[in-house]
Amino acid sequence: MGKKITLLLSVIILTAGLNAMEISRVEPPSWWVGMNNPTLQIMLYGKDLTGGTVTTSEKGIKIQSVKYGDSPNYLFIELKISPKLKPGRYNFTVTKGNLKTEFFYTFEKKGAGGKMTGKGFGPHDLVYLLMPDRFANGDKSNDSHPDAAEKASYDKPYGRHGGDIQGIINSLDYLNKLGVTAIWSTPLLFDNEPRASYHGYACSDYYKIDPRFGTNDLFREYVGEAAKRNIGIIMDMVPNHSGISHWWYNDLPFNDWIHKFPKYTQSNFAMSSHADIHASQADNIRCTTGWFDTSMPDMNLKNPYLHRYFVQNAIWWTEWSGLAGIRVDTYPYSDKFAVAEWVAGILLEYPAMNIVGECWFSTPAEVAYWEGSAKNRDGYSSKLTSVMDFPLQEAIGGALLKDGQPGWGEGMFRIYRSLSLDFVYTNPYSLLIFADNHDTNRITETLKGDLSKMKMMLTLLATMRGTPQLYYGTEIMLKTKDGKLGHGEERLDMPAESEFNSDQRALADFTSKLFSWRKGSKAVHEGKLMHFWPNDNLYVYFRNYSNEIVMVIINNNTKTLNLDWDIYNEAVKSGRAGKDIISGNTVISGNTFEVAPQSAHVISFK
What's the farthest any 2 CA atoms get from each other in the chain? 92
Task: Establish whether 358 is a catalytic residue.
Answer: yes
Looking at 403-495, list the stretches that DSSP marks H as alpha helix, in order from N- to C-terminal side. 413-420, 443-446, 451-463, 487-490
φ/ψ bin of 269: left (φ > 0), alpha (ψ from -120 to 50), beta (otherwise): left
Query: How many other CB atoms are found less than 10 A from the CB of residue 11?
Result: 22
If phi > 0 it is left, if psi is from -120 to 50 it is alpha, else beta; for residue 584 that is left
DSSP string, 103-144: EEEEEEETTTT-TTTT----TT--EEEE-HHHH--S-GGGSS
Packing angle of the helix pair 390-401, 451-463 (nearest 10 deg): 150
Helix (H) or strand (E) holding 90: strand 88-96
Strands 11-15 and 4-8 come out as antiparallel
DSSP tally for the chain: helices H, then strands E = 15, 28
**Catalytic residue selected from 298, 358, 371, 389:** 358
* Residues 391 and 360: beta-carbon distance below 8 Å: no
Sign of the dihedral defined by the CA atoms of residues 494, 495, 498, 501, in that order: negative
- DSSP bridge partners of 307: none
Instruction: Please report the DSSP string for 147-207 in residue order.
Output: T-SSPB-TT-TTSB----HHHHHHTHHHHHHHT--EEEES--EE---SSS-TT--S-SEEE
287 contacts 276 by C-beta, under 8 angstroms: no
**Residue 583 CB partners (closer than 8 Å, separation 6+):** 601
- Active-site residue, selected from the candidate residues 329, 349, 445, 548: 329
CA 549 vs. chain centroid, Å, equals 31
Q: For residue 37, which of 355, 346, 383 has the smallest C-alpha distance?
A: 346
Torsion-angle region of 552 (φ positive above 0: left; ψ -120 to 50: alpha; else: beta): beta
Whether the link from the prior residue into 406 is cis, omega within 30° of 0, is no
Q: In 3-state terms, what secondary structure has residue 42? A: strand
What is the C-alpha separation between 534 and 421, in angstroms, rounded? 16
d(CA 379, CA 345): 19
- Which segments of 454-571 are extended strands (E)? 467-471, 528-532, 538-545, 548-555, 561-562
Sheet strands (E) in 483-527: none
Q: What is the DSSP letter of 209?
A: E
Q: Is 298 a catalytic residue?
A: no
Q: Annotated active-site positions, please?
A: 329, 358
